[in-house]
Amino acid sequence: MSTVLRPALSLIVLMTLITGVAYPLVVTGIAQVVFPSQANGSLVYDKAGKVRGSELISQNFTGDGWFHSRPSAGAFATVSSSASNLSPSNPALAARVTADVAKEVVPGQGAVPLSLLTTSGSGLDPHLPPEAVTYQVARVAAARNIPVTTVQRLVNENTYRPLIGPPVVNVLILNQTLNELPSAQL
């Protein structure tokens, strides 16, 4: 029995050390050297060096002076990240969308874009289509007493056009750029 048990236990210990210790340490070390920002969570810092969030996780911005993200089914908490899984016939979904329309509507801008009313699959998608962000430009410009052209320029500068897929705007980065706008550019 020990002739079978000893090699089996030795192999378990060896494989645990290789796959559970050595490999993760090597991959983590390579990631820290080659992709340090991504390996540490793609954190976004303000000018003072304080962490304001991650490029990968949406945040809840309220008030007319900020661009709003898409709604989150998990209240922007990473622990409960998921979709709401409410069917189109569910009255709770209809009530939430109706309430979101009332919060997001900008007079004179037409219908609220669908991406400002629907949650993403994870509930934490930090990106919006440029059209949904442009819809909010007039509201943000009026609340901050900034020319609409200046705010639209910020939106255009913060629009990411990937090689594959539609253009998107990271709302956290856009709001940080907006907040750090020098008074000389107003």
Same domain, 102 and 30: no
Same domain, 140 and 71: yes
The number of distinct structural domains making up the chain is 2
Q: What is the pLDDT of residue 1?
A: 67
| Cβ–Cβ under 8 Å, residues 92 and 100 | no
Same domain, 6 and 67: no
Once rounded to an integer, what is the mean pLDDT over residues 25-39? 90
Name, of 43-47, 91-95, 120-124, the range with top average pLDDT.
91-95
Once rounded to an integer, what is the mean pLDDT over residues 158-167? 93
pLDDT above 70 (res 170): yes
Q: What is the pLDDT of residue 25?
A: 93
Same domain, 97 and 138: yes
Same domain, 12 and 53: no
Residue range 22-31, pLDDT digits in tens: 999 999 999 9
d(CA 16, CA 185): 58
Token digits of residue 180: 């750090």
Same domain, 22 and 81: no
Tell if the pTM clears 0.85, that is, is over it. no
Same domain, 11 and 53: no
Same domain, 91 and 181: yes
Nearest to 73 by CA among 65, 63, 81: 81
Residue range 57-87, pLDDT digits in tens: 878 888 888 999 888 776 776 666 666 677 7
Same domain, 78 and 24: no
d(CA 68, CA 143): 13
pLDDT above 60 (res 183): no
13: containing domain: 2-36
Same domain, 171 and 83: yes
Same domain, 110 and 94: yes
Same domain, 27 and 118: no
pLDDT above 60 (res 184): no
pLDDT above 90 (res 168): yes
